[in-house]
Amino acid sequence: MTQDTQNYFSFLPDGGVRRSELLMPAGSLERLKVAVLYGADAVYMGTPDMSLRTKSEFSLEDVVEGIEFAHAHGVRVYLTLNLFAHNKDVPKLDDYIATLRDVKPDGVIIADPGVFSYMRKHAPEFPLHVSTQANVCSWLTVDYWTDQGAELVVLAREVSYSELAEIREKCQDVKLEAFVHGAMCMTYSGRCLLSNYMAERGANQGNCANACRWKYTVHLRLKDGSLQEINIDDSNRDMFEFLLEEGYRPGDFLPIEEDERGSYILNAKDLCLMPKLDDYLKIGVDSLKVEGRGKSAFYVAVAARAYRQAIDDYYAAPESWNPHPYIRELETVGNRGYSLAFHEGRLKNFAHNYENTKTFASWEYAGIIREVRDGAFVMEVKNRLQAGDVLEFLPPGREETVLLRLYEYENAKNGKKTEEVHASAKPLIRIPFSVFDREDPETIHKLFPPFTIVRKEANLTAEEWQRLKLDKVSRKIETGHAPESVYPAQLEKLQKLVDEPTLERRPKTPRFGVEGCCGRGCNGCLMFWNDPQYARAREILAKKKHGEMLEKDMREAV
């Protein structure tokens, strides 16, 4: 390691390099296995009663199997015990400790000081991690928890990068964990008034109703006590507006806008610190946490894959590290728009999505491989598949994906072939190795084990495509790669599409090639591989990485 290269790394007190682990969520046994296969160094999970996730899909048997699977692959497992305990919860702790001794996790995540103290006294053999629910925001609080015996402290999402760097400098003898990706709470790390008040579902008991994501409609209360809904349409849209004035900022009015979809004044965008990930690796944050125990296996695979590659590439060549390839990967999984959140110390306008709370992306979950047998993959379908759809297989542990265009789908149970498959009944389809006409069957067999994730391009409306474009613009502004002046024009384009909605949905590239070659040369693409007019394109693609898009002028030429 050269002197210059040393400047890119943080060192432990004993002189060793402080490497960051990738910590992934596991909301079910399936998602745990996906996280492990796609590169997690550690996973966190829990059972419904004590882990702040009442919808957790883990049984005790699943926990045992999950920990055994993770440990067999060299991956650590942290169990969540991060509820704020009421009296009724205290008697459960002894049983929980007995369970811990049976399943042998690598750490226990705790928020409640009383629970922490109880665990230190009655189960001192387990490493204890302080949960983000404890809202640790300063080095002073980190020192406090270190003195109590914490091995790792999870910092609140509200800690800025400069604060984090100072905490790291002052607190060398304890591990630090920071969130780098996932949903953001509109309040302090889950301490939400709305969920309790509106749905009687305690956020701190693991049952958050996500009231901040709901649609809100403006009403007018008359002096006689009657309540009327305000219908805003073209006839009255320009007659009035609604404003909020905060008590300590007289004259500083915040507009509340509502259209036919409602108003989403509390809806935060999702956190994505990939553009700044090198900063976190450079100062030696011990654990980089991805949120999402309630998210799909598709989300887990894509996020783990992107962050695994980004972390490994940084350690291999920190001088040339570039976040953009990994950001493009993260764009393929559903999100509410990405933001740096509190990285710079305060939220900006671009950290919220005031128009819509829907999560979507340019790609969607196509399926998951359940079995590999008889010269074929057996895939469970997760979204509708149509003739001509391009499936993209994401091989665990390998950067290059494999694309496959299919024109028919074989039912794995009865052999019946159809041009369309619906996901509602969770059908299984058979994909023979032979349909990968540009790949070696033996290689294909090794690349895609059970729990491999498959995605496909999504069919989106013109409005949704523009929303994705607007999200990219806001992200460029937030990272200093574009001026704020470009945002209004993109927002205006979106508003026109909102005002003139269309139900037509389309993918980004053609389905059958009849609209023009998409330039990917996918396995099974009858147009690209068999039509004489694409001969020149085939020569060029043979020199490229499989699946890499041809340049636009080349696509137009063919």
Report the C-alpha gap between 497 and 477 in whole angstroms: 22
Report the C-alpha gap between 88 and 360 in whole angstroms: 40
**pLDDT tier at 218 (50, 70, 90 boundaries)?**
low
Q: What is the pLDDT of residues 468-480, one digit of tens each?
A: 998 999 899 988 8
409 or 2: whose pLDDT is higher? Answer: 409
Largest CA distance in the chain: 78
Burial zone of 120 (CB within 10 Å; 0-12 exposed, 13-18 middle, 19+ buried):
middle
Report the C-alpha gap between 176 and 500 in whole angstroms: 49
Share of the chain above pLDDT 70, in %: 76
Rounded to two decimals, the pTM is: 0.85
Confidence (pLDDT) at 264: 46
Q: Which residues pair with 23 in a beta bridge?
A: 42, 289
**pLDDT tier at 22 (50, 70, 90 boundaries)?**
very high
What type of residue sits at position 376?
A
Residue 483 has pLDDT above 60, yes or no: yes
Q: What is the distance of C-alpha 490 from the center of its chain?
A: 25
Beta-carbon contacts of 309 under 8 Å, excluding residues fewer than 6 positions away, are 39, 325, 326, 329, 399
Residue 225 has pLDDT above 70, yes or no: no
Residue 52 has pLDDT above 50, yes or no: no
**pLDDT tier at 314 (50, 70, 90 boundaries)?**
very high
Q: Nearest to residue 130, comparing CAs of 360, 140, 146?
A: 146
Confidence (pLDDT) at 520: 78
Residue with tokens 């695979």: 301
Confidence (pLDDT) at 203: 53
Residue 330 has pLDDT above 90, yes or no: yes
Q: What is the mean pLDDT of residues 409-426?
A: 94
Phi first, then psi, for residue 33 (nearest 5°) are -65, -40
Q: What is the pLDDT of residues 487-545, one digit of tens each?
A: 888 888 887 887 788 888 888 776 665 556 677 788 888 888 888 888 888 888 777 66
Q: Nearest to residue 285, comparing CAs of 399, 166, 458, 391?
A: 166
Confidence (pLDDT) at 108: 97
What type of residue sits at position 144?
Y
| Dihedral of alpha carbons 202, 203, 207, 208, sign | positive
Q: How much is the mean pLDDT over the chain?
A: 84
Q: What is the mean pLDDT of residues 91-113?
A: 93
Residue with tokens 């053609």: 510
Q: Give whichever of 7-16, 66-75, 460-469, 534-543 has the largest mean pLDDT.
A: 66-75
Burial zone of 332 (CB within 10 Å; 0-12 exposed, 13-18 middle, 19+ buried):
buried
Other beta carbons less than 10 A from residue 117's beta carbon: 13
Q: Would you put residue 519 in left (φ > 0), alpha (ψ -120 to 50) or beta?
A: left
Q: What is the pLDDT of residues 354-371, one digit of tens each?
A: 556 678 899 999 999 999
Residue 558 has pLDDT above 90, yes or no: no
CA angle 133, 184, 112 (to 5 degrees): 5
CA angle 45, 188, 167 (to 5 degrees): 80
Q: Confirm if 337 and 153 have CB atoms less than 8 A apart.
A: no
Architecture of domain 3-184+268-351: Alpha-Beta Barrel (3.20)
* DSSP label of 351: G
Torsion, CA 451, CA 337, CA 473, CA 552, rounded to 10: 30
* DSSP label of 469: H
Beta-carbon contacts of 7 under 8 Å, excluding residues fewer than 6 positions away, are none
Q: What is the pLDDT of residues 388-398, one digit of tens each?
A: 899 999 999 99
Confidence (pLDDT) at 261: 43
Side-chain-side CA neighbours of 408 within 13 Å: the count stands at 8
Q: Confirm if 388 and 511 have CB atoms less than 8 A apart.
A: yes
Confidence (pLDDT) at 259: 47
Report the C-alpha gap between 368 and 119 in whole angstroms: 39
Side-chain-side CA neighbours of 287 within 13 Å: the count stands at 28
Q: Nearest to residue 141, comparing CAs of 150, 114, 97?
A: 150
Q: What is the mean pLDDT of residues 50-68?
A: 75
Report the C-alpha gap between 245 and 256 in whole angstroms: 11
Q: Please give the structure tokens belonging to residue 422.
A: 């619906």
Residue 202 has pLDDT above 80, yes or no: no
253 or 58: whose pLDDT is higher? Answer: 58
Beta-carbon contacts of 515 under 8 Å, excluding residues fewer than 6 positions away, are none
Confidence (pLDDT) at 508: 77
Phi first, then psi, for residue 44 (nearest 5°) are -125, 140
Residue with tokens 């400098």: 169
147 or 61: whose pLDDT is higher? Answer: 147
Confidence (pLDDT) at 262: 44
Residue 131 has pLDDT above 50, yes or no: yes
**pLDDT tier at 142 (50, 70, 90 boundaries)?**
very high
Confidence (pLDDT) at 263: 45
Domain with CATH 3.20.20.70 in the chain: 3-184+268-351
What percentage of the chain's residues is helix, strand, coil (to nearest 5)?
35, 20, 45
**pLDDT tier at 244 (50, 70, 90 boundaries)?**
low
Confidence (pLDDT) at 260: 45
Q: What is the pLDDT of residues 426-455, one digit of tens each?
A: 999 999 999 998 888 899 999 999 999 999
496 or 184: whose pLDDT is higher? Answer: 496
Phi first, then psi, for residue 498 (nearest 5°) are -65, -40
Confidence (pLDDT) at 537: 82
| Dihedral of alpha carbons 424, 428, 430, 436, sign | positive
Side-chain-side CA neighbours of 36 within 13 Å: the count stands at 25
Confidence (pLDDT) at 415: 95
Find the length of the chain.
558
Confidence (pLDDT) at 507: 83
Residue 546 has pLDDT above 90, yes or no: no
Confidence (pLDDT) at 37: 98
Candidate from 59-68, 274-283, 295-304 with smallest mean pLDDT: 59-68
Q: Nearest to residue 460, comparing CAs of 502, 499, 417?
A: 502
Confidence (pLDDT) at 211: 57
Q: What is the mean pLDDT of residues 65-90?
A: 94
Beta-carbon contacts of 296 under 8 Å, excluding residues fewer than 6 positions away, are 31, 365, 382
Q: Which residues pair with 28 in a beta bridge?
A: none
Residue 14 has pLDDT above 60, yes or no: yes
Beta-carbon contacts of 440 under 8 Å, excluding residues fewer than 6 positions away, are none
Q: What is the distance of C-alpha 516 from the center of its chain?
A: 33
